[in-house]
Structure formats: C-alpha cells, structure tokens
A and B are shown apart, each in its own frame.
Chain A
C-alpha cells in the first residue's frame, strides 16, 4: 500500500513476450493518455523483460511520456515471483496513482499478486475507465477525481463501477480489445528511465520447461461479441465486411450453415444446431435469415442485433435490435460510427453526469 498521491503518474504495464508487444498495452496507452490528461499527470509505461529496450520507442509513439525500463536476463520469461518483485519495487519507488494491466493470462496472474503484496485494491476485467468523483454512501466523504473502474459482473448481466478511494495505487486489469488503439505518432518520443533490477535473494520457485504459442483459434464460446454472416452476405469477398466489423469490436466471426456451405467462412465458425451454441453479450447477425437451426444456436445471447434486407426475415423474431437494410451499406456505416465512438462516448458520459 502506498499513500494517496495526487501527483502520482498513470502507469501501464507494457506486457511483452519474447521482445514483442501485444496489442493490449498499446490499447491501454491510448486510454491511459486520456486519464493522465484529465488528471494532469504524466503517462508512463512499465517495460519489464530482457533485451526489450527497442520497444521503448513504440511505447512513446503510442502516448507514453515516460518508460520505466527494467531489464535482466532472469526476466526473459514471465514469472510471477520475479515480475512481482520488480513491479512492486517500482511502485514503492515512484508511487503512481493508477496502474493498468491487460486482462491477459499474464496480467491476471501478475496484477493480483502485486495488489496482494502492495495490499491495495484491484478491479478485474474492466471494459471502461473514467475519472470521476465518488461519495461514500456511509460516511458521505466526497473524493474527487478517482479512477472509476467499470466492469461487467454477474455473467455480464450487470455493470459495476468500482473505486479504490484510500489504498493506492488504483489498479485495474482491462479486457483485451475493448479500448481503441490510437495510431502511432511517428515523431513522438518519451523519456526512458532505466530501473535497477534487484532480484537478490530471490530463488525462483518455478522453471519454464516448454512454451508453445499457436495462432489463436476461433473461440466462439468465449467471445463476448460475435459478428455472424449468412448466405445474404453474398460472397467470400463480401464476407470481409464481417471480419472488419468483428475486428473493430474485438469480437469473433461466426457464420450460419448456409454461409459455411457456400464457402464464405470455414466450418469452425459455424453457429447453430449443427455448429457451436453461443451466448455472447452481443450477437450481430448480418444477412442471416434466421432458420430455426441457426436460432437454436444463438438465441440466448444477451443482446442480438439483426441486419437484414428482408424485413420479414425470421431472425427479427429473436432480435433485440434490428436494422432493415443492405449490409454492404450498413456495416461500413457502423464501422465509421464505432471509429468515431470516442467523441460519442464522451458526449454520452457528459450527458449521464448532467
């Protein structure tokens, strides 16, 4: 635990594997940038590893003012014990007010361990972060400019906003793909601060024997958002639109049996009676007529958005939202609207505060 430090920086843990940054830290930097600007403090990236200095430039181009660089041969592979030691030492030394981690396999291992060691709070799997005021319902104590940590809970059925008023740093892990990544700013630079790693007396309890990475397979079951296309998409080329929409939403791509049979998308993606049964938070079906076989596989999704040119398509019978129109026009408009969503989101937030 560190004292409340209003001048503390906003930190982003720059997760890397084998010298490559994943997308999450870059997504976090863009959100971190907003938060740091609102608080009027610097944004810093924490880069831990071995021979990772070349990544500093990328982090700066994505918005980091400072990069804390902790390098050591022992840190080549992520290990709970060694990384926790380094991150805790950094926090103790610099007292940041906010620390953000990706809700990745590593982030969800490291962040709770660090929070436990620092005896501070941690909110898992946030889908949004804002700066706002908080009044304690019991003591009526009013605290300005806390990190509002917004996350779905209860199987995605409620949205909880969590704050950490007293025992800092305010820590959160953030879901992959939900923050928009800003484009790298070519000329932007940051200051690299080399942090002396001290792992004296640490006898690593774990040894990594083998590590296998594979290209991510379709994970329809685990996806929070699924964009699915049907026969109405028209061709494998036109199916590109489905992929684009899924990518920008950080979702998975699904297909009806007709789309699979027509070769628009591979069988792994099939949703329905004979494919995978899914229940994501949002299911967007484009050009899917809604045969009973397909509906059986997706109708329990929390929210269903149907886009179809035929207003009588059965899919509208299970939809919560519907757009009757040509998906070739609708999807590009959606993508455009989501891209400009940042300003929209601010407008909405402003409205809800008022």
Chain B
C-alpha cells in the first residue's frame, strides 16, 4: 500500500553568502546577486519523505511555488529520488505573504489528497516558519511541527518533536503535515544515474522559452505554441515533463492570492550589512559606551 507524500520545497537566495554587493542602493536585497539554492530544511523534509517511501512504499511528489527558475530545486528533488515534480507558477501569485502562499499551496495539495505533507521548518530568506502551520490549518491536516523522528503505523504517526529545551513524543492521526528540522536527518546526495536522466526534465514554461529562442522572432505565435506542445508531449512520453499548474489549474480564489490575499505589507527595509576593514573605536568612558550601545540599539543589533 504505502503512503502518498507531498513535499513543499522552495528555492531561496543563499542568505549566508550576503555581502555588500548583494544590497541595492535603496537598501533592498539584490536577489539576482545571490546564488539561488534549495532551502536547507526543505532538503530535510524531502529526505524524511523519501525514507517513508523507502520503508513503506508509496510515492513522493514535490511541489515548488515560484518563478520558472524554481524548476532547479524540482530537478534536484528528482535527482535525490522524488517520483514527481510540480511547479506552481503564476504572475498573479507574486507578492504573496505566508497566508496567501499557504492558501495557494493548499489548493494545489488538495488536488493530490496525500496522506502526508512535509515542509521544511522554515526558509532561510524569511525565517518565518509560518507556511507549514498555515498550510496544515487550511488543509485541515493534523499539524506536527519540529519533526525529528517519524514512525508510521497504519493511520497513526509517532513523532519525536524537538521543542528547543527538550523533546516531546506524540501520536498523531493522519492525514498530517510535518515541519521538519535540520536535525532530523542528513539529506541523501543526488544519485548520479538519476542526475544524468532527470537533468533533462523541463516544465512547459521552460520548453516554451527554449522554443521561443529556437524559432526566433519571425515565427508566429501559433507555430511556437504547436512546437511547444509537440515538445511537451515528447518529454511526457520520456517521463521528463515537470507538471506545471497556474492559479486557474488549482481553482484558487484570486482574492486570497498574491498581494490582494496578503494582509502584511512592507513598511520599510534597512540594510545592516557592515563593510569590513577598519574598526570604529569608542572610548571606554560612560559617554563613549553609551553611544556605542545607542548605535547597536538603533540598528536593532540589540533589542
């Protein structure tokens, strides 16, 4: 029998590699200057799902929401053993906060009716850890956060949760959503024979772009569409087509998506990246120390 598993993965800028160049003049982040990587704890979530499949059978489907570039993390998931990859991409989903994101993901996952959903505990760009719990709430799945160990027995999951100052063992009913900690496992490496095959996997949006480039400006839109459809069918036959859904495909209510569906708004962004080199000296006097502390409070380094 086995379990049907869905893993939500995200492509994130590598925030550990932020340097001065990664900030724009207006103090916002220049995402283009940062390498895009597989969100680290999503790899732990994928590994947890793959272990369920290794042990009990079933399938692992990976979903990423984002720009077409997010296909990279989907392919990476296929390299590591995922059975199916789905890209949710739609301009109307831009500017979604965690509430809108979890709504969109819930619409997609509802189509798949999995037994288990795995999310990384949090993504390193936002560090909010909110999408997992909010997705569980929207799906009506049992939420189990901070998973470290998982055992399944029929429709029951036995989970060890890392709650910071200790652990908790719980028994939870399926269907359930787990948010997975970095400490849960070591993700397996890509399997090279799978890499050699699945590196060719493409989503329709990528195929369309390639066709656009190949046929050039002179070709008609119809010709391009026909060629794209032809290539997609060919990829499908070779089991290399990444499923691609937009908001209509998943029957999402647009009022709950994108900016419209997002209650939170950005008021202000400040950069606090420091340039290296010479240090700023403060005298050891009360006044000197007070001005140092003031500076650290002002830039929110200390509370």
Q: Do A and B come from one complex?
A: yes
Chain B CB within 8 A of A58 CB: no
Is there an interface contact between A124 and B128, defined as CB atoms closer than 8 Å?
A: yes
Is there an interface contact between B129 and A306, defined as CB atoms closer than 8 Å?
A: no
Binds B, one of A187-195, A262-270, A313-321: A313-321
Main secondary structure of the interface of B (DSSP, over half): mixed
Q: Which residue of B lies closest to A79 (CB)?
A: B170
Chain B CB within 8 A of A150 CB: yes
Chain B CB within 8 A of A240 CB: no
Which A residues lie within 8 Å of B263 (CB)? 1, 119-121, 164, 166-167
In angstroms, Cα B22 to Cα A223, docked, is 24
Return B209 CB to nearest CB of chain A, in Å.
28
Max chain B Cβ within 10 angstroms of own Cβ: one of A134, A154, A320: A154
B166, B170, B297: which contacts A209 (Cβ < 8 A)?
B170
Is there an interface contact between A337 and B289, defined as CB atoms closer than 8 Å?
A: yes
Q: Which residue of B lies closest to A165 (CB)?
A: B265
State how many residues of chain B have any CB contact under 8 Å with chain A: 81
Chain B CB within 8 A of A115 CB: yes
Q: Which residue of A lies closest to B268 (CB)?
A: A161
Q: Which residue of A lies closest to B303 (CB)?
A: A178
Chain A CB within 8 A of B234 CB: no
Is there an interface contact between A158 and B271, defined as CB atoms closer than 8 Å?
A: yes
Q: Which residue of B lies closest to A159 (CB)?
A: B270
Return B34 CB to nearest CB of chain A, in Å.
9
Binds A, one of B49-57, B68-76, B96-104, B109-117: B96-104
Q: Which residue of B lies closest to A300 (CB)?
A: B16
Is there an interface contact between A282 and B301, defined as CB atoms closer than 8 Å?
A: yes
Is there an interface contact between B271 and A157, defined as CB atoms closer than 8 Å?
A: yes
Max chain A Cβ within 10 angstroms of own Cβ: one of B18, B132, B301: B301
Which B residues lie within 8 Å of A116 (CB)? 99, 102, 133-134, 137-138
In angstroms, Cα B288 to Cα A323, docked, is 9
Is there an interface contact between B128 and A159, defined as CB atoms closer than 8 Å?
A: no
In angstroms, Cα B163 to Cα A104, docked, is 9
Which B residues lie within 8 Å of A121 (CB)? 97, 99, 262-264
Is there an interface contact between A334 and B134, defined as CB atoms closer than 8 Å?
A: no
Max chain B Cβ within 10 angstroms of own Cβ: one of A127, A150, A160, A348: A160
Known: A323-B292, A326-B284. A158 touches B133 (CB 8 A): no
Is there an interface contact between A122 and B98, defined as CB atoms closer than 8 Å?
A: yes
Chain A CB within 8 A of B130 CB: yes
Max chain B Cβ within 10 angstroms of own Cβ: one of A112, A132, A160, A329: A112
- Give residues of chain A (145-193) contacting chain B, Cβ–Cβ below 8 Å: 146, 148, 150, 152-167, 175, 177-180
Binds A, one of B142-150, B217-225, B241-249: B142-150
A111, A159, A213, A323: which contacts B299 (Cβ < 8 A)?
A159
Chain A CB within 8 A of B169 CB: yes
Known: A105-B164, A108-B129, A326-B284. A122 touches B303 (CB 8 A): no
Which A residues lie within 8 Å of B102 (CB)? 116
Binding site for B on A (CB under 8 A): 1, 80-81, 84, 104-106, 108-109, 111-113, 115-117, 119-125, 127-128, 132, 134, 136, 146, 148, 150, 152-167, 175, 177-180, 205-216, 225, 249-250, 281-282, 302-306, 316, 319-326, 329-330, 333-334, 336-338, 341, 344-345, 348, 352
Q: What are the nearest 5 A-B pairs in CB distance? A: A325-B284, A178-B303, A121-B263, A155-B15, A167-B263
- A319-B279, A321-B281, A325-B284 known; 18 other A-B pairs, CB under 8 Å? A108-B145, A115-B99, A121-B97, A128-B300, A136-B265, A159-B270, A159-B300, A162-B265, A177-B303, A208-B170, A209-B171, A216-B164, A282-B302, A303-B274, A321-B280, A334-B292, A337-B286, A344-B297
